[in-house]
Amino acid sequence: MTKRTPKIQPVPLKLNYSIPAGNNMSFIDLFKDASRLSRKFLRQGQMAAIGNIRVTMPAATTNAAGNAVYISTMQNTWAVSNAWEKSFRLWKKQQDRALEDAGSESVKGRFNDFKVYIDEDHRREGNLEPVNLGPFGTSGPFLTAVVTQSPPFPGEWQYSQIVIPNDGAPGVTNEYALIMHGADNGNAKGMLEGYADSRSVPHSPDPSTPAIAANVWMAEMFDVGNDDDAVFDNAQFRNNDLPYNRDNYPGGATNYEFPENKAWCLNRSTVGVNTFNLGGMVAPCGLLRIDQLFSNPDSTPLIIEVELLPGTGRGYHTVEMQDM
């Protein structure tokens, strides 16, 4: 028998966004927008495979400064994957337990899903809306070189919250959003920070050894007059500590706390509109952070084109966050 290859469903693979030139930071939730445009329920807890990101930007105000655009995602590390997994399990356990206690398991929302922010800036600023490109119903000439049309109608896409009872005082219950990178704050809890705080740490230094440099008969067996103290010190004390910080995970509150930069471009041209292809990347949870520097607020908007790769995950090439 021959094994049938899963059919790849038809879906929109190119998502376009317009960013006002004066916006220093913007955010994209690819699974939110792909769900809206494909009329499919795509869970956020996946890694999105991106074939290319194309940036179209206006001319720089000056050659010295130029216009710079940076594309960042969650850090691509085991700690991010495990922090997502543990946060998801606790969120699900809290909801399932409450529904079970009430005997109301059937009332859970049909599209109940675990959705998080990349950082506190994302929670505060929100997401860009996808737009269509093209001069539909517009007469030329097109002075901005790229013409955008209005976004599609929105659906419901609410980010998850955890509930903490007796939060700081008996009887006080508070709800918090979840952010992957950064510290806890009054509105959100840091997932990487919480994961680090919930785990034991490796022993350091390792191994913890007795003094073997002198007066140890097993060491003296081969002492033929040479002084081996320096050799013992090198073997015992050089590189007996962790090659990373024991207590603070990258991406948490204090250690390398920012998302991971995946690509960037710098436009120094002061003439016309310029396009840059930044290549492919993987976006955990389908979240992108876009920062731009040296941009003139009076310039025309930037255009970001994200090209997703086709696959068997409801039309897209995806990998579960647990399998990161």
Question: Does residue 146 contact residue 200 with C-beta atoms inside 8 Å?
Answer: no
pLDDT recorded at residue 151:
83
Predicted pLDDT at 67: 82
Residues forming a β-bridge with 46: 320
Q: How far apart are CA 26 and CA 53, in angstroms?
A: 15
- Residue among 50, 75, 68, 29 nearest 260 (CA): 75
Report whether 18 contacts 292 (CB < 8 A). Answer: no
- How far is it, in rounded angstroms, from Cα 129 to Cα 83? 28
Query: pLDDT grade, residue 192 (50/70/90)?
Result: very high
Q: 10 Å Cβ neighbour count for 64?
A: 8
Give the full edge-to-edge strand order of the sheet including 25-29.
Answer: 25-29, 287-293, 67-73, 260-267
CA pair distance 106, 110, nearest whole angstrom = 10
Read off the pLDDT of residues 92-151 as tens digits, 9 standing for 90 and up: 999 999 888 888 778 888 889 999 999 999 999 999 999 988 777 666 555 555 677 788
Residue-range domain boundaries for the chain: 14-98+110-200+250-323, 203-241
**Residues contacting residue 3 through CB under 8 Å, at least 6 positions apart:** none
Confidence band for 2, pLDDT divided at 50, 70 and 90: low
Q: What is the pLDDT of residue 254?
A: 87
- Reported as a single tens digit per residue, the pLDDT across 253-274 is 888 888 999 999 988 888 878 8
**Strands, E, within the chain: which ranges?**
14-19, 25-29, 46-57, 67-73, 130-133, 148-149, 161-164, 174-179, 188-190, 260-267, 274-277, 281-284, 287-293, 302-308, 310-313, 316, 318-320
Mean of the pLDDT values across residues 180-208? 88
Neighbours of 59 (CB within 10 A): 17
Average pLDDT of the residues in 12-21: 90
Q: What is the mean pLDDT of residues 210-239?
A: 67
Quickly count: other Cβ atoms within 10 Å of residue 274's Cβ: 17
Judged against a pLDDT cut of 70, whether residue 210 lies above it is answered with no
What is the average per-residue pLDDT within 55-62?
79
The model carries a pTM of 0.87
